[in-house]
Structure 1
């Protein structure tokens, strides 16, 4: 029985002219599709520390208003990855963070581009259902002023 790598999903947003836009990254490492910043915790890192580090690694910016949620889940990998030996999948906790800049410095090893999209468009192009659930949850929280 394999282990699940501990990780984080970080729904990233910015406000522009009274609207909320969500950051989606075009994934190219291990699979192709759209996601928000995410990643695994390293060694003895807490999930909050992992969220702060992953946010910076995937955007080039520091997290603003980083918020954690009690939303968790896990998924299995479709195959074994050389950089994730001994893991059969990843568990995650949901975070969100606001970002103040429109231009980010994404990790070109993992991603080939990015888009800022309103909720409906972001929801429609996210690749995996678990990420859609997370985006929907954060969007409802933001719409309710939380």
Structure 2
């Protein structure tokens, strides 16, 4: 049986090992610093636990935009490889949808890397449509 719950701010550093697996090219100090900044900006994180072991995470941003209204953006969604393919991702996403609705959200949007074909399939299977391109420029 898995437990899904918000990770309290005083325990947020527990996500760092999973973030490192998801972002192996970013050093741990940079991840820690960015996480601290994100918390100030309203970042929340939900965890999936197998007993007391953190096996999955998703960040959550709550935003309002003209074209969609208030919505949730799942961010850095990650399930440990040994737990993938067991329906845990679906449980996590459904939990996020219910949580977002309780906060007044009417939609969900997210970013998925162009070369992440498995991610494209996952998100499409959960009702997402590709509606735009995400552009980025370093300053």
Fold match, TM over 0.5?
no
What's the TM-score once normalised by structure 2's chain length?
0.26
Could you say which structure has the higher strand fraction? 1
The TM-score with structure 1 as length reference comes to: 0.26
Higher RCO by CA contacts (8 Å cutoff, separation 6 or greater): 1
